[in-house]
Amino acid sequence: MGRYVVRRLLIAIPTLLVISFVMYAILALAPIDPLASLATDPRVPPEARENIRIALGLDQPWPVRYVKWLIAVLQGDFGVSFMSHTSVSALLWQRLPNTLAVVGVAYIVGIFVAVPIGMLSAVRRNTLTDHAVSTLAYIGFSVPTFFTGLILIIIFSVKLHWLPFLYDSNLKVTDFNSLVGQLRQSIMPILVLGLFDAAVLTRYVRAEMLEHLPMDYVRTARAKGLKERAVVVRHALRNSLIPVVTLIALGVPTVFGGAIVTEQIFHVPGIGELLVRSIGSGDTPVVAAIVIIFAVLVVAFNLVADVLYGVLDPRIRYA
């Protein structure tokens, strides 16, 4: 196992280099212009736009820009944002807490909702409970998040005036009141995202449970006279969760990537919102930094998932 991990880590280096190169090429070739928003402004003549292009270094060929960028990143410098002229790392640190507080919490909520419900749905297969849960899950992933978000806003913010829908990133949780404030402002996005995650995950938990419930070892456990509850939870669920755990581990990097639509609807200044805005405005340094951090997380959590898989399922052997 130890050798396997070391080897995987070594392979990660060329993998990340390839990712960074392909990503940079994509960003350079994509026809997005950082100056698009100034294009129809009669006060900004073409020569002013050209000056900006040169100041941003965009007059250099992209392979040159890539090498410069790579050298800087290897020294821990993600560069300066085209749009805000501040260091990219500062921007990311500003936004990470908001993303974790909303998208991260929603992911955890989703997991804690999905596992018991998926299990219940599988054990009570083809009963009313199962069909109700399944249908709810179908609604969950056929209705887009922008839609659920909008409905929640209209009900709870517009009609009832119970919850604010402008997220205040300056709110610091120091006492009970501010905690309530944080809950009030984040409950709607957490619900929207959590339910979507839960809907998808429930299906996998249910499917895996259904795979394992008729297996021999489950029958053996029952034959030993164990209580049904213990059979289901300790035996069937434990084994069913192996693929689910890897799925959850693989989903962790997407938490960092943020939830673009939900963050935008609820005005949460998270990383997803930053990413999509930076893509739209051609802010290459910001996009490149987010993508490369995301890639590191993807590679890392894939390794974690594989290791977990090996630990949880002794039948899998890695060379």
CA separation for the pair 207, 216 (Å, rounded): 17
Residue 63 CB, shortest distance to other proteins, in Å, is 16
Please identify, using beta-carbon distances, which residue of 59 and 228 lies nearer to other proteins. 59
Distance CA 214, CA 232 (A): 11
Q: From CA 268, how far away is CA 88, in angstroms rounded?
A: 19
Q: Which is nearer to other proteins, 14 or 229 (CB)?
A: 14
C-beta of 287: minimal distance to other proteins in Å? Answer: 6
**Shortest Cβ distance from residue 250 to other proteins (Å)?**
6
Burial class (CB in 10 A: 0-12, 13-18, 19+), 200: middle
Count other C-beta atoms under 10 Å from residue 67's C-beta: 11
Identity of the residue, 154 or 223, whose beta carbon is nearer to other proteins in the bound complex: 154
| Least distance (Å) between residue 228 CB and other proteins | 20
Q: Rank residues 64 and 158 by Cβ distance to other proteins and give the closer one.
A: 158
What lies within 8 Å, CB to CB, of 261 at 6+ separation is 144, 145, 146, 149
Nearer to other proteins among residue 190 and residue 249 (C-beta) = 249
**Which is closer to other proteins, CB of 233 or CB of 302?**
302
Q: Which is nearer to other proteins, 109 or 250 (CB)?
A: 250
Give me the least distance between CB of 110 and other proteins, in Å please: 14
Q: Which is nearer to other proteins, 8 or 226 (CB)?
A: 8
Q: Please, what is the minimum distance in Å from the beta carbon of residue 70 to other proteins?
A: 16
Contact 69, 24 (CB under 8 A): yes
CB of 219 to other proteins, least distance (A): 8
Least separation in angstroms between residue 179's CB and other proteins is 20
- CB distance 23 to 288 below 8 Å: yes
